[in-house]
Amino acid sequence: MPDLHPDLEPLAFLIGTWKGRGRGEYPTIEPFEYTEEVVIGHTGRPFLRYDQRTRRPDSGDPLHAEVGFWRPGRPGRVELIVAQPTGIAEVDEGILEGTSIRVRSRMVGLTRTAKPVSTVERILRVEGDRMHYELLMGAMGRDHRLHLEAALTRS
């Protein structure tokens, strides 16, 4: 593996394979649970590659996937670009404080067949090999609110 680009030092705590369980809720759907795997790696360039997959815990059937890139911004700032096979693309920007990140959508792009998502916010906290995250969104004409929450462990 190539050396980590020096600009990525503040984000190095994200690198690894993370696995765990989460739960989801939203006013337009029934609450649900899922298992998740997130792989975050680098190529020696000044970005981290992000690959996420969720599955039904009972059957292992796929639920959701997204891919993207974490990018360092100005000092104390971070950017995230995400694409989903559901026709949604996000450009998020936010704050990096130690091993905590809070980003919010600057732009949400939608294909004609995508569900109407207007805002996305992601909050991550990493302590050692444990990651906790929350994803909030505004969608389907509803206000910005909690949609997903999970606890993952680096394997």
User: 0.75 exceeded by the pTM?
Assistant: yes
User: What is the DSSP pairing of strand 130-139 with strand 145-154?
Assistant: antiparallel
Domain count along the chain: 1
| Domain assignment of residue 55, yes or no | yes
Task: Read off the pLDDT of residues 88-134 as tens digits, 9 standing for 90 and up.
Answer: 999 999 999 999 999 999 999 999 999 999 999 999 999 999 999 99
CATH code of the domain in which 131 resides: 2.40.128.20
CA dihedral defined by 15, 17, 19, 24, rounded to 10 degrees?
60
**Per-residue pLDDT band at 29 (split at 50, 70, 90):** very high
| Domain assignment of residue 24, yes or no | no
| Domain assignment of residue 1, yes or no | no
Asked if the model's pLDDT at residue 144 lies above 90, the reply is yes
| Domain assignment of residue 71, yes or no | yes
d(CA 92, CA 90): 6
CA dihedral defined by 9, 17, 3, 125, rounded to 10 degrees?
0
| Domain assignment of residue 21, yes or no | no
| Domain assignment of residue 107, yes or no | yes
| Domain assignment of residue 41, yes or no | yes
Q: What percent of the chain has pLDDT over 70?
A: 100
Range of the domain at 47: 6-14+32-154
CA distance readout (Å), 106 to 5, 90, 98, 109, 119: 26, 8, 22, 10, 8
Task: Read off the pLDDT of residues 64-79 as tens digits, 9 standing for 90 and up.
Answer: 999 999 999 999 999 9
Predicted local confidence at residue 1, as pLDDT: 78
